[in-house]
Structure 1
Amino acid sequence: MSANSNPYETERLLSEYLLFHYGTAEEILPGSAPAGMRDALDFAVRTTRHFSPGTVERTLDLGCAVGRSTYEMSRSSQETLGIDFSQNFVRAAAAMAGAPLPYARLDEAHKRTPLLARLPEGLPPNQVRFETGDAMNLRADLKNFDRVHAANLLCRLTEPDRLLERLPSLVRPGGELVIATPCTWLGEYTPPQNWPQGSTLDWLKEKLGGHFELISVNDEPFLIRETARKFQWTASMVTAWKRLLS
Protein backbone atom coordinates (compact mmCIF):
# COMPACT_ATOMS: atom_id res chain seq x y z
CA MET A 1 0.00 0.00 0.00
CA SER A 2 1.46 3.35 -0.98
CA ALA A 3 1.16 6.43 1.20
CA ASN A 4 -1.00 8.08 -1.45
CA SER A 5 -3.51 5.21 -1.40
CA ASN A 6 -3.58 4.87 2.40
CA PRO A 7 -7.24 5.19 3.50
CA TYR A 8 -6.06 6.22 6.95
CA GLU A 9 -4.92 9.60 5.60
CA THR A 10 -8.49 10.88 5.27
CA GLU A 11 -9.92 13.46 7.66
CA ARG A 12 -12.94 11.24 8.29
CA LEU A 13 -10.79 8.35 9.51
CA LEU A 14 -8.66 10.70 11.56
CA SER A 15 -11.75 12.00 13.35
CA GLU A 16 -13.11 8.48 13.89
CA TYR A 17 -9.83 7.36 15.45
CA LEU A 18 -9.47 10.43 17.66
CA LEU A 19 -12.94 9.63 19.00
CA PHE A 20 -12.06 5.91 19.28
CA HIS A 21 -8.89 6.65 21.27
CA TYR A 22 -9.78 9.71 23.31
CA GLY A 23 -13.57 10.10 23.30
CA THR A 24 -15.56 9.84 26.51
CA ALA A 25 -18.49 7.47 26.88
CA GLU A 26 -20.83 10.45 26.59
CA GLU A 27 -19.20 11.56 23.33
CA ILE A 28 -19.27 8.07 21.76
CA LEU A 29 -22.42 6.30 22.94
CA PRO A 30 -26.10 6.99 22.31
CA GLY A 31 -28.31 7.26 25.36
CA SER A 32 -29.88 3.89 24.55
CA ALA A 33 -26.55 2.03 24.31
CA PRO A 34 -26.61 -1.53 25.72
CA ALA A 35 -23.99 -2.57 28.28
CA GLY A 36 -21.97 -4.45 25.66
CA MET A 37 -21.21 -1.22 23.85
CA ARG A 38 -19.91 0.41 27.03
CA ASP A 39 -17.74 -2.65 27.75
CA ALA A 40 -16.06 -2.16 24.36
CA LEU A 41 -14.76 1.34 25.12
CA ASP A 42 -11.09 2.17 25.90
CA PHE A 43 -9.69 -0.62 23.72
CA ALA A 44 -6.40 1.26 23.22
CA VAL A 45 -5.97 1.28 26.99
CA ARG A 46 -7.08 -2.30 27.68
CA THR A 47 -4.65 -3.95 25.25
CA THR A 48 -1.67 -2.35 27.02
CA ARG A 49 -2.75 -4.04 30.27
CA HIS A 50 -1.78 -7.43 28.87
CA PHE A 51 1.87 -6.71 29.67
CA SER A 52 3.27 -7.76 33.03
CA PRO A 53 3.23 -5.15 35.83
CA GLY A 54 6.35 -3.12 36.47
CA THR A 55 8.51 -0.44 34.89
CA VAL A 56 10.82 -1.02 31.92
CA GLU A 57 13.28 1.05 29.90
CA ARG A 58 12.07 0.93 26.27
CA THR A 59 8.71 0.19 24.64
CA LEU A 60 7.50 0.20 21.02
CA ASP A 61 3.93 0.63 19.77
CA LEU A 62 3.54 -0.55 16.15
CA GLY A 63 0.49 0.68 14.24
CA CYS A 64 -0.04 3.23 16.99
CA ALA A 65 -2.74 5.19 15.08
CA VAL A 66 -3.40 8.43 16.99
CA GLY A 67 -1.34 7.34 19.94
CA ARG A 68 -3.48 6.50 22.96
CA SER A 69 -1.84 3.10 23.54
CA THR A 70 1.60 4.68 23.09
CA TYR A 71 0.89 7.25 25.77
CA GLU A 72 -0.57 4.57 28.05
CA MET A 73 2.59 2.46 27.69
CA SER A 74 4.66 5.48 28.73
CA ARG A 75 3.15 5.24 32.23
CA SER A 76 5.56 2.36 32.93
CA SER A 77 8.40 3.01 30.48
CA GLN A 78 11.32 5.42 30.45
CA GLU A 79 11.22 5.71 26.64
CA THR A 80 8.25 4.98 24.35
CA LEU A 81 8.14 5.08 20.55
CA GLY A 82 4.96 4.96 18.47
CA ILE A 83 5.10 4.15 14.74
CA ASP A 84 2.28 4.32 12.21
CA PHE A 85 2.05 4.29 8.41
CA SER A 86 -0.36 7.24 8.39
CA GLN A 87 1.29 10.66 8.42
CA ASN A 88 -2.03 12.19 9.50
CA PHE A 89 -2.27 9.87 12.50
CA VAL A 90 1.33 10.45 13.54
CA ARG A 91 0.99 14.23 13.34
CA ALA A 92 -2.15 14.08 15.47
CA ALA A 93 -0.58 11.72 18.02
CA ALA A 94 2.46 13.97 18.44
CA ALA A 95 0.33 17.11 18.68
CA MET A 96 -1.61 15.63 21.61
CA ALA A 97 1.44 16.12 23.85
CA GLY A 98 1.20 19.90 23.49
CA ALA A 99 -2.48 20.75 23.78
CA PRO A 100 -5.99 19.32 23.27
CA LEU A 101 -6.63 18.64 19.59
CA PRO A 102 -9.84 19.92 17.95
CA TYR A 103 -11.73 17.64 15.56
CA ALA A 104 -15.28 17.14 14.30
CA ARG A 105 -17.40 14.09 15.11
CA LEU A 106 -19.63 13.03 12.21
CA ASP A 107 -23.24 12.66 13.31
CA GLU A 108 -25.07 12.31 9.99
CA ALA A 109 -24.86 13.74 6.46
CA HIS A 110 -23.24 17.21 6.84
CA LYS A 111 -23.98 17.45 10.57
CA ARG A 112 -20.87 17.43 12.74
CA THR A 113 -20.13 18.14 16.38
CA PRO A 114 -16.87 19.90 17.35
CA LEU A 115 -14.89 18.05 20.03
CA LEU A 116 -11.49 18.19 21.70
CA ALA A 117 -9.22 15.15 22.07
CA ARG A 118 -7.36 15.35 25.39
CA LEU A 119 -4.69 13.24 27.04
CA PRO A 120 -5.76 11.73 30.36
CA GLU A 121 -4.12 13.14 33.45
CA GLY A 122 -0.95 11.55 34.79
CA LEU A 123 0.69 10.73 31.47
CA PRO A 124 4.34 11.75 30.87
CA PRO A 125 4.13 13.06 27.27
CA ASN A 126 7.79 14.12 27.17
CA GLN A 127 8.82 10.45 27.30
CA VAL A 128 6.93 9.65 24.07
CA ARG A 129 8.09 9.98 20.45
CA PHE A 130 6.22 9.28 17.23
CA GLU A 131 7.38 8.61 13.68
CA THR A 132 5.94 7.48 10.37
CA GLY A 133 7.02 4.01 9.33
CA ASP A 134 6.05 0.81 7.55
CA ALA A 135 5.66 -2.18 9.89
CA MET A 136 6.80 -4.45 7.04
CA ASN A 137 9.97 -2.44 6.45
CA LEU A 138 11.10 -0.95 9.75
CA ARG A 139 14.42 0.86 10.00
CA ALA A 140 17.32 -1.44 10.76
CA ASP A 141 18.38 0.15 14.05
CA LEU A 142 15.08 -0.64 15.78
CA LYS A 143 15.78 -3.50 18.19
CA ASN A 144 15.90 -4.73 21.77
CA PHE A 145 12.72 -3.25 23.21
CA ASP A 146 11.42 -4.48 26.56
CA ARG A 147 7.83 -4.38 25.30
CA VAL A 148 6.37 -4.35 21.80
CA HIS A 149 2.66 -3.72 21.22
CA ALA A 150 0.87 -4.20 17.88
CA ALA A 151 -2.91 -3.77 18.02
CA ASN A 152 -5.22 -4.33 15.04
CA LEU A 153 -2.28 -4.13 12.65
CA LEU A 154 -1.46 -7.63 11.46
CA CYS A 155 -4.49 -8.24 9.23
CA ARG A 156 -4.07 -4.83 7.59
CA LEU A 157 -0.60 -5.60 6.18
CA THR A 158 -0.06 -6.81 2.61
CA GLU A 159 2.72 -9.14 3.79
CA PRO A 160 2.23 -9.83 7.51
CA ASP A 161 4.97 -12.48 7.47
CA ARG A 162 7.52 -9.70 7.10
CA LEU A 163 6.54 -8.20 10.44
CA LEU A 164 6.45 -11.58 12.18
CA GLU A 165 9.95 -12.34 10.91
CA ARG A 166 11.20 -9.02 12.32
CA LEU A 167 9.65 -9.36 15.77
CA PRO A 168 12.43 -11.51 17.35
CA SER A 169 14.94 -8.71 16.74
CA LEU A 170 12.56 -6.06 18.08
CA VAL A 171 11.97 -7.75 21.44
CA ARG A 172 14.96 -8.32 23.71
CA PRO A 173 15.40 -11.77 25.33
CA GLY A 174 13.02 -11.91 28.27
CA GLY A 175 10.95 -9.04 26.85
CA GLU A 176 7.24 -9.11 26.09
CA LEU A 177 5.10 -8.88 22.96
CA VAL A 178 1.36 -8.18 22.75
CA ILE A 179 -0.42 -8.70 19.43
CA ALA A 180 -4.12 -7.86 19.06
CA THR A 181 -5.92 -8.78 15.86
CA PRO A 182 -9.60 -9.14 14.93
CA CYS A 183 -8.51 -11.72 12.33
CA THR A 184 -10.60 -9.95 9.69
CA TRP A 185 -8.52 -10.96 6.70
CA LEU A 186 -9.66 -8.91 3.69
CA GLY A 187 -8.34 -8.98 0.15
CA GLU A 188 -8.19 -5.19 -0.14
CA TYR A 189 -5.52 -5.16 2.57
CA THR A 190 -3.86 -8.60 2.43
CA PRO A 191 -3.78 -10.76 -0.72
CA PRO A 192 -5.48 -14.11 0.05
CA GLN A 193 -2.26 -16.01 -0.64
CA ASN A 194 -0.77 -14.20 2.39
CA TRP A 195 -3.59 -15.13 4.77
CA PRO A 196 -3.10 -17.89 7.39
CA GLN A 197 -3.97 -21.28 5.97
CA GLY A 198 -5.72 -22.31 9.19
CA SER A 199 -6.61 -20.31 12.29
CA THR A 200 -4.75 -17.09 12.98
CA LEU A 201 -3.77 -18.38 16.42
CA ASP A 202 -2.20 -21.56 15.03
CA TRP A 203 -0.38 -19.48 12.43
CA LEU A 204 1.03 -17.18 15.12
CA LYS A 205 2.16 -20.16 17.17
CA GLU A 206 3.94 -21.59 14.14
CA LYS A 207 5.60 -18.31 13.15
CA LEU A 208 6.59 -17.12 16.61
CA GLY A 209 7.01 -20.36 18.56
CA GLY A 210 10.73 -20.68 17.90
CA HIS A 211 11.48 -17.34 19.54
CA PHE A 212 8.55 -16.66 21.90
CA GLU A 213 6.56 -18.45 24.60
CA LEU A 214 2.80 -17.89 24.37
CA ILE A 215 1.64 -16.61 27.77
CA SER A 216 -2.06 -15.90 27.27
CA VAL A 217 -4.89 -15.62 24.73
CA ASN A 218 -7.89 -13.39 25.37
CA ASP A 219 -10.61 -11.52 23.50
CA GLU A 220 -11.01 -7.75 23.84
CA PRO A 221 -14.04 -6.06 22.23
CA PHE A 222 -13.77 -2.65 20.65
CA LEU A 223 -16.25 -0.12 19.32
CA ILE A 224 -15.77 2.44 16.55
CA ARG A 225 -18.47 5.06 16.09
CA GLU A 226 -19.04 5.97 12.44
CA THR A 227 -22.19 8.08 12.83
CA ALA A 228 -24.79 8.69 15.53
CA ARG A 229 -26.56 5.47 14.48
CA LYS A 230 -23.79 3.31 13.02
CA PHE A 231 -21.13 1.58 15.07
CA GLN A 232 -18.52 -1.12 14.44
CA TRP A 233 -18.46 -3.66 17.30
CA THR A 234 -15.60 -6.14 16.92
CA ALA A 235 -13.69 -8.59 19.11
CA SER A 236 -9.92 -8.66 18.81
CA MET A 237 -7.85 -11.70 19.78
CA VAL A 238 -5.08 -10.54 22.13
CA THR A 239 -2.06 -12.80 22.48
CA ALA A 240 0.73 -12.09 24.98
CA TRP A 241 4.19 -13.57 24.42
CA LYS A 242 7.55 -13.67 26.22
CA ARG A 243 10.77 -13.64 24.22
CA LEU A 244 12.84 -16.75 24.91
CA LEU A 245 16.25 -16.21 26.48
CA SER A 246 18.01 -18.21 23.76
Structure 2
Amino acid sequence: MTEETHQGMYETDVAVSQYCEAHYGEKYFGVELFPVKCAQICLKAMKGRPMKRALDLGCAVGRSTFELAREFDFVTGLDFSARFVRIAVQLQEKGIIRYELPEEGEIVSYHEARLSDFNLDQTRERVEFFQADAANLEPHFTGYDLIFAGNLLDRLHAPRKFLTSIHERLHEGGLLIITSPYTWLEEFTSRENWIGGFRKAGEPYTTLDGMRELLKEHFRLIAEPRDIEFVIRETKRKFQHTLSQLTVWERMS
Protein backbone atom coordinates (compact mmCIF):
# COMPACT_ATOMS: atom_id res chain seq x y z
CA MET A 1 0.00 0.00 0.00
CA THR A 2 1.45 3.38 -0.98
CA GLU A 3 1.62 6.28 1.44
CA GLU A 4 -0.94 8.13 -0.70
CA THR A 5 -3.37 5.20 -0.52
CA HIS A 6 -2.75 4.83 3.21
CA GLN A 7 -3.53 8.49 3.84
CA GLY A 8 -6.62 8.33 1.66
CA MET A 9 -8.21 5.81 4.03
CA TYR A 10 -8.09 8.25 6.94
CA GLU A 11 -10.11 11.29 7.92
CA THR A 12 -7.85 14.31 7.68
CA ASP A 13 -10.23 17.21 8.37
CA VAL A 14 -8.94 18.78 11.60
CA ALA A 15 -12.29 19.15 13.37
CA VAL A 16 -13.49 15.69 12.34
CA SER A 17 -10.26 14.07 13.52
CA GLN A 18 -10.36 15.94 16.83
CA TYR A 19 -13.90 14.78 17.51
CA CYS A 20 -13.16 11.20 16.45
CA GLU A 21 -10.42 11.17 19.08
CA ALA A 22 -12.60 12.93 21.68
CA HIS A 23 -15.34 10.33 21.17
CA TYR A 24 -13.42 7.13 20.52
CA GLY A 25 -9.78 7.78 21.41
CA GLU A 26 -7.61 8.03 24.48
CA LYS A 27 -8.41 9.57 27.84
CA TYR A 28 -6.15 12.53 28.57
CA PHE A 29 -5.18 13.86 32.00
CA GLY A 30 -7.51 11.34 33.63
CA VAL A 31 -10.63 12.96 32.12
CA GLU A 32 -13.35 10.57 30.98
CA LEU A 33 -14.53 10.82 27.38
CA PHE A 34 -17.21 13.50 27.45
CA PRO A 35 -19.94 11.77 25.37
CA VAL A 36 -19.55 8.59 27.41
CA LYS A 37 -19.78 10.44 30.72
CA CYS A 38 -22.82 12.40 29.58
CA ALA A 39 -24.60 9.31 28.30
CA GLN A 40 -24.00 7.58 31.63
CA ILE A 41 -25.51 10.55 33.47
CA CYS A 42 -28.50 10.54 31.11
CA LEU A 43 -29.13 6.83 31.59
CA LYS A 44 -28.87 7.13 35.36
CA ALA A 45 -31.30 10.07 35.38
CA MET A 46 -33.79 8.03 33.32
CA LYS A 47 -33.97 5.12 35.77
CA GLY A 48 -37.61 4.34 36.52
CA ARG A 49 -38.82 6.32 33.50
CA PRO A 50 -39.86 5.08 30.04
CA MET A 51 -36.80 4.53 27.82
CA LYS A 52 -38.28 3.91 24.40
CA ARG A 53 -36.93 6.76 22.28
CA ALA A 54 -34.17 9.32 22.80
CA LEU A 55 -32.99 12.27 20.74
CA ASP A 56 -29.28 13.18 20.77
CA LEU A 57 -28.94 16.77 19.54
CA GLY A 58 -25.45 17.86 18.53
CA CYS A 59 -24.37 14.24 18.36
CA ALA A 60 -21.17 15.06 16.42
CA VAL A 61 -19.57 11.73 15.43
CA GLY A 62 -22.05 9.70 17.38
CA ARG A 63 -20.56 8.24 20.56
CA SER A 64 -23.30 9.48 22.89
CA THR A 65 -25.96 8.19 20.49
CA PHE A 66 -24.49 4.69 20.53
CA GLU A 67 -24.02 4.84 24.31
CA LEU A 68 -27.66 5.84 24.92
CA ALA A 69 -28.76 2.91 22.72
CA ARG A 70 -27.28 0.51 25.28
CA GLU A 71 -30.54 0.94 27.21
CA PHE A 72 -32.95 2.87 24.99
CA ASP A 73 -35.06 1.01 22.43
CA PHE A 74 -34.09 3.55 19.75
CA VAL A 75 -31.96 6.71 19.55
CA THR A 76 -31.84 9.40 16.87
CA GLY A 77 -28.64 11.42 16.53
CA LEU A 78 -28.77 14.82 14.82
CA ASP A 79 -25.98 17.26 14.04
CA PHE A 80 -25.70 20.40 11.93
CA SER A 81 -22.42 19.15 10.44
CA ALA A 82 -22.93 16.76 7.54
CA ARG A 83 -19.28 15.70 7.91
CA PHE A 84 -19.82 14.62 11.52
CA VAL A 85 -23.00 12.77 10.59
CA ARG A 86 -21.21 10.94 7.78
CA ILE A 87 -18.67 9.58 10.30
CA ALA A 88 -21.44 8.40 12.63
CA VAL A 89 -23.24 6.69 9.72
CA GLN A 90 -19.98 5.05 8.65
CA LEU A 91 -19.56 3.63 12.14
CA GLN A 92 -23.12 2.37 12.14
CA GLU A 93 -22.78 0.72 8.73
CA LYS A 94 -19.20 -0.55 8.83
CA GLY A 95 -18.37 -0.58 12.52
CA ILE A 96 -15.03 1.18 12.01
CA ILE A 97 -13.54 4.61 11.38
CA ARG A 98 -9.99 5.67 10.59
CA TYR A 99 -8.53 9.10 11.21
CA GLU A 100 -5.21 10.87 11.51
CA LEU A 101 -3.99 13.17 14.27
CA PRO A 102 -1.30 15.85 14.13
CA GLU A 103 1.70 15.11 16.32
CA GLU A 104 3.94 18.09 15.56
CA GLY A 105 4.43 20.12 12.43
CA GLU A 106 3.85 17.87 9.42
CA ILE A 107 4.09 14.64 11.42
CA VAL A 108 0.80 12.78 11.88
CA SER A 109 -0.24 9.49 13.46
CA TYR A 110 -2.88 7.08 12.19
CA HIS A 111 -5.71 5.71 14.31
CA GLU A 112 -8.79 3.55 14.01
CA ALA A 113 -11.75 2.84 16.24
CA ARG A 114 -14.30 0.05 16.09
CA LEU A 115 -17.66 -0.13 17.81
CA SER A 116 -16.70 -3.61 18.94
CA ASP A 117 -13.82 -2.05 20.93
CA PHE A 118 -16.45 -0.50 23.22
CA ASN A 119 -19.00 -3.33 23.20
CA LEU A 120 -21.32 -1.16 21.09
CA ASP A 121 -21.84 -3.45 18.10
CA GLN A 122 -25.25 -4.47 19.42
CA THR A 123 -26.49 -0.86 19.26
CA ARG A 124 -26.08 -0.43 15.49
CA GLU A 125 -29.65 -1.51 14.72
CA ARG A 126 -31.10 0.85 17.32
CA VAL A 127 -29.71 4.18 16.09
CA GLU A 128 -30.13 6.53 13.16
CA PHE A 129 -28.31 9.72 12.16
CA PHE A 130 -29.36 12.79 10.21
CA GLN A 131 -28.05 16.25 9.42
CA ALA A 132 -30.42 18.82 10.99
CA ASP A 133 -30.69 22.27 12.55
CA ALA A 134 -31.68 21.89 16.21
CA ALA A 135 -33.46 25.26 16.17
CA ASN A 136 -35.51 24.30 13.10
CA LEU A 137 -36.33 20.61 13.43
CA GLU A 138 -38.64 18.75 11.07
CA PRO A 139 -42.06 17.91 12.63
CA HIS A 140 -41.43 14.15 12.72
CA PHE A 141 -38.62 14.55 15.28
CA THR A 142 -40.99 14.28 18.24
CA GLY A 143 -42.32 11.90 20.88
CA TYR A 144 -39.12 11.36 22.89
CA ASP A 145 -38.59 10.24 26.48
CA LEU A 146 -35.16 11.93 26.62
CA ILE A 147 -33.59 14.78 24.71
CA PHE A 148 -29.88 15.28 25.24
CA ALA A 149 -28.47 18.54 23.87
CA GLY A 150 -24.71 18.23 24.22
CA ASN A 151 -22.57 21.38 23.95
CA LEU A 152 -25.08 22.78 21.50
CA LEU A 153 -26.80 25.76 23.07
CA ASP A 154 -24.08 28.38 22.61
CA ARG A 155 -23.56 27.37 18.96
CA LEU A 156 -27.18 27.85 17.88
CA HIS A 157 -28.20 30.85 15.80
CA ALA A 158 -31.57 30.89 17.60
CA PRO A 159 -31.14 29.44 21.12
CA ARG A 160 -34.24 31.21 22.44
CA LYS A 161 -36.41 29.55 19.79
CA PHE A 162 -34.86 26.20 20.64
CA LEU A 163 -35.56 26.50 24.37
CA THR A 164 -39.11 27.80 24.01
CA SER A 165 -40.18 25.08 21.57
CA ILE A 166 -38.24 21.97 22.60
CA HIS A 167 -41.04 20.85 24.96
CA GLU A 168 -43.11 20.03 21.85
CA ARG A 169 -40.69 17.17 21.08
CA LEU A 170 -40.75 15.57 24.53
CA HIS A 171 -43.28 13.41 26.35
CA GLU A 172 -44.67 14.72 29.64
CA GLY A 173 -42.40 13.48 32.40
CA GLY A 174 -39.52 13.15 29.95
CA LEU A 175 -36.12 14.71 30.54
CA LEU A 176 -34.24 17.45 28.72
CA ILE A 177 -30.55 17.30 29.60
CA ILE A 178 -28.38 20.17 28.40
CA THR A 179 -24.63 20.64 28.56
CA SER A 180 -22.84 23.81 27.54
CA PRO A 181 -19.65 25.71 28.44
CA TYR A 182 -21.59 28.94 27.67
CA THR A 183 -18.87 30.29 25.37
CA TRP A 184 -21.05 32.74 23.50
CA LEU A 185 -19.45 34.02 20.29
CA GLU A 186 -20.99 36.34 17.72
CA GLU A 187 -19.63 34.20 14.87
CA PHE A 188 -22.21 31.57 15.92
CA THR A 189 -24.92 33.55 17.71
CA SER A 190 -25.74 37.22 17.19
CA ARG A 191 -25.27 39.20 20.39
CA GLU A 192 -28.97 40.02 20.64
CA ASN A 193 -29.76 36.29 20.61
CA TRP A 194 -27.56 35.34 23.56
CA ILE A 195 -29.67 34.08 26.44
CA GLY A 196 -27.07 34.88 29.10
CA GLY A 197 -23.51 35.97 29.66
CA PHE A 198 -24.26 39.67 29.97
CA ARG A 199 -25.52 42.25 32.45
CA LYS A 200 -29.25 42.80 32.83
CA ALA A 201 -30.43 45.84 34.78
CA GLY A 202 -26.81 46.25 35.84
CA GLU A 203 -26.51 42.75 37.31
CA PRO A 204 -24.79 39.65 35.89
CA TYR A 205 -27.29 37.52 33.98
CA THR A 206 -25.98 34.01 33.41
CA THR A 207 -27.02 31.46 30.81
CA LEU A 208 -28.52 29.39 33.62
CA ASP A 209 -30.64 32.42 34.54
CA GLY A 210 -31.77 32.64 30.94
CA MET A 211 -32.58 28.94 30.74
CA ARG A 212 -34.62 29.11 33.95
CA GLU A 213 -36.65 31.96 32.52
CA LEU A 214 -37.21 30.41 29.09
CA LEU A 215 -37.94 26.88 30.28
CA LYS A 216 -40.04 27.61 33.38
CA GLU A 217 -43.41 27.33 31.62
CA HIS A 218 -42.87 23.71 30.60
CA PHE A 219 -39.92 22.40 32.67
CA ARG A 220 -38.62 22.20 36.18
CA LEU A 221 -34.97 21.81 37.13
CA ILE A 222 -34.72 18.53 39.04
CA ALA A 223 -31.02 18.35 39.92
CA GLU A 224 -28.26 20.72 40.92
CA PRO A 225 -26.25 21.91 37.90
CA ARG A 226 -22.87 20.20 37.68
CA ASP A 227 -19.71 20.76 35.68
CA ILE A 228 -18.43 18.04 33.34
CA GLU A 229 -14.87 18.18 32.02
CA PHE A 230 -13.88 17.50 28.46
CA VAL A 231 -10.56 17.50 26.63
CA ILE A 232 -9.94 18.13 22.93
CA ARG A 233 -6.53 17.06 21.62
CA GLU A 234 -5.04 19.49 19.09
CA THR A 235 -1.51 18.10 18.86
CA LYS A 236 0.62 15.74 20.90
CA ARG A 237 1.39 18.56 23.32
CA LYS A 238 -1.54 20.95 22.94
CA PHE A 239 -5.01 20.35 24.37
CA GLN A 240 -8.22 22.23 25.13
CA HIS A 241 -9.52 21.54 28.64
CA THR A 242 -13.06 22.82 29.18
CA LEU A 243 -15.84 22.66 31.76
CA SER A 244 -19.39 22.23 30.51
CA GLN A 245 -22.35 22.78 32.83
CA LEU A 246 -24.94 19.98 32.83
CA THR A 247 -28.54 20.65 33.79
CA VAL A 248 -31.47 18.20 34.02
CA TRP A 249 -35.00 19.45 33.29
CA GLU A 250 -38.26 17.50 33.62
CA ARG A 251 -41.12 18.19 31.21
CA MET A 252 -44.19 19.16 33.23
CA SER A 253 -47.83 18.51 32.31
What is the TM-score of this pair, normalised by structure 1? Answer: 0.88
Task: Return the letter of the residue paired with 1:20.
Answer: A
What are the residue-to-residue correspondences of 1:86-125 with 2, within 5 Å?
Answer: 86-97=81-92, 98-119=94-115, 120-122=118-120, 123-125=122-124
| 1:127-170 alpha-carbon deviations (Å, 9 max, x no partner) | 00000001111001221200000010000111111211221111
Would you say the 8 A contact 1:50–1:240 is kept in 2?
no
How large is the Cα RMSD of the aligned pairs? 1.6
User: Which of 195, 210, 216 is residue 217 of structure 2 equivalent to?
Assistant: 210
**1:187, CA displacement in angstroms?**
1.4
Task: Look up the SS of the partner of 1:75 in the other structure.
Answer: coil
Would you say the 8 A contact 2:55–2:76 is kept in 1?
yes
**1:229, CA displacement in angstroms?**
1.1
Task: Return the letter of the residue paired with 1:38.
Answer: G
Would you say the 8 A contact 2:175–2:251 is kept in 1?
yes
| 1:195-221 alpha-carbon deviations (Å, 9 max, x no partner) | 124101111110111101101211101
Structure 1 residue runs of 4+, over 4 Å off? none
| 1:44-89 alpha-carbon deviations (Å, 9 max, x no partner) | 0111233322561100000100000011111111111000011110
Gaps of 5+ in 2: 1-10, 199-204
Distance 1:145 1:74, change over 3 A: same
Equivalent-residue separation in structure 1 for 2:64 and 2:169 (angstroms): 18
Counting aligned pairs with the same residue, the percent is: 39
**1:190, CA displacement in angstroms?**
1.0
The structure whose Rg is larger is 2
2:229 aligned with 1:221: yes
Equivalent-residue separation in structure 1 for 2:177 and 2:227 (angstroms): 12
What is the TM-score of this pair, normalised by structure 2? Answer: 0.85
Gaps of 5+ in 1: 1-8, 30-36
Which residue pairs with 2:30 in the alignment?
Answer: 38
Equivalent-residue separation in structure 2 for 1:132 and 1:213 (angstroms): 29
Task: Return the letter of the residue paired with 2:131.
Answer: T
Equivalent-residue separation in structure 2 for 1:218 and 1:99 (angstroms): 33
Which residue pairs with 2:40 in the alignment?
Answer: 49
Which residue pairs with 1:159 in the alignment?
Answer: 158
Task: Look up the SS of the partner of 1:124 in the other structure.
Answer: helix
Distance 1:117 1:148, change over 3 A: same
Distance 1:237 1:15, change over 3 A: same
Task: Return the letter of the residue paired with 2:74.
Answer: E
Equivalent-residue separation in structure 1 for 2:212 and 2:39 (angstroms): 21
**1:23, CA displacement in angstroms?**
0.2
